Amino acid sequence: MKLTSLILFLLLVTTNAFAKKIFDAKSFKLRNGLKVIVIENKRAPVVAQMIWYNFGSGVEENGKSGLAHFMEHLMFKGTKKFPDSYYSDFISKIGGSENAFTSYDYTAYYQVFPKYELEKIMQMESDRMVNLTLSKKNVEIEKKVILEERFQRVESDPSAKLDESMRSILFPNHYYGRPIIGWKHEIENLKFDDIIKFYKKYYIPNNATLVLSGDVDFERVKKLSKKFFGKRRKGNPLVYENISDPKIETSVMVEMNHPTVKQSIWKKFYRVGSYKNSINKSLSLEIGLKIIASGSSSILYENLVNQQKIFSAIGGYYQGLTRGQGSVYFYAIPNQKLETDKIDEIINNEIDEILKKGIPKKRFDIEKKKFIFDSIYERDGVLNPAQSVGEAITIGIKLDDLENLNKKIDEISLEDVVLALKNFRKNKNFVIGELNN
């Protein structure tokens, strides 16, 4: 599609986008504290169920990293009523799919399945919230699986090891500086009693949000939620300590050398504000970074890769859907050997020059409309809405703010974006890393 045609098309679709809420979700809360959100979409007889626990690796005690991720694995081990792999086998038998993931701030489990199995799926999810049948044997077996996973994802990947070190320096006082999968030596020392204590303490209804998306009826979901989840006892509410990190007042550079590295990579990680701190400021920063640093169409890529040919690749992106501070990640691959501080200087000077010349209004309008266009795609299917809503709600974004995000995007001006980028350039809370042979 030609650029002018794309702009006209976006203008047409965004007119309707502002007329209604993005997901038009309905919600209620059970007496035991479980939040339930329903997103109706009757286009196909399919349902996505996601249960979001409002904790991830952030609730782990010092010295016991990896517990939340370990527990995620063990949630598939079965209950007395639905033993071993019954739950997973049942989903496979009916042609459905499932998975789970752990983050710093949340742990989530999802299933996609035919609508006629809604009651059974809700029953099984409710059952494993409190009735897991764990043994010391299956905990030790799973520990070996997790250690192998860590080896594959981190120990054998120099880039991942560098990232892990950089984050530990960037967030010296916060759990964001601790790997979600856990430190190897701490995973090895996790005990059966650690697992049971963690499970009983945190897997409770008032720590969870159940999201159902697709061909579901709100009243039926309310009835089934009360039937299966309503009987679960609430526990002590989770209270996150307001932990912050000190300012980084020294120049920090981390270097990782490994014989398997074929090409040097430069990285720079920043601590920045998050969407929970300010939706408007976060939108402005994210739009600005997309314009100057995201992908091969970005200004930095055009100037430093295509024209000046200093780098073979360059990019940057913002991660702001966090309960604590957000992060910005930059990377660059130089075409020839350059000192770390020289790379940093080149990129900083280029960003300053972009801001001095000014971001073209046309470029800004297109990027802003892409945001709105992406939100239209978020409504498509059954899993996307459950993913978007669940993540935002769990880290502390209000449902109403999420539903009206398009209006907030529309209010962002070019001046807002330029100001966000200028403030970002003043940010001294960063760590630089280099990966070499």
Report the number of distinct structural domains present in the chain.
2
What pLDDT was estimated at residue 18? 53
What lies within 8 Å, CB to CB, of 354 at 6+ separation is 292, 299, 300, 303
72 included as an active-site residue: yes
Mean pLDDT for each consecutive 10-residue tract of the chain (437 residues)? Answer: 36 48 93 97 95 97 96 97 97 97 98 98 98 95 97 95 97 96 97 97 97 97 98 90 87 92 95 96 97 96 97 97 97 95 97 96 92 79 94 95 91 97 96 95
Same domain, 422 and 347: yes
Dist. CA 205–CA 231, nearest whole Å: 10
Q: Tell me, yes or no, whether 422 lies in a domain.
A: yes
**Residue ranges with strand state E in 60-173:** 97-102, 107-114
Of 20, 91, 100, the closest CA to residue 68 belongs to 100
What pLDDT was estimated at residue 3? 35
What pLDDT was estimated at residue 22? 87
Same domain, 135 and 280: no
What pLDDT was estimated at residue 375? 74
Torsion angle of alpha carbons 345, 351, 355, 359, nearest 10°? 160
Q: Tell me, yes or no, whether 117 lies in a domain.
A: yes
Q: Tell me, yes or no, whether 6 lies in a domain.
A: no
Q: Is the dihedral of CA 261, 267, 271, 272 positive or negative?
A: negative
3-state secondary structure 75-108: CCCEECCCECCHHHHHHHHCCCEEEEEECCCCEE
**Residue ranges with strand state E in 128-264:** 208-214, 253-257
**CATH number of the domain where residue 376 is located:** 3.30.830.10
Same domain, 125 and 175: yes
Same domain, 166 and 300: no
How many CB atoms within 10 Å of residue 113? 22
Same domain, 294 and 197: no
> Which residue out of 72, 164, 350, 391 is catalytically annotated?
72
Cα dist from 181 to 65, 70, 145, whole Å: 7, 8, 12
Q: Is the pTM of this model over 0.85?
A: yes
Q: Tell me, yes or no, whether 379 lies in a domain.
A: yes
Enclosing domain of residue 122: 24-228
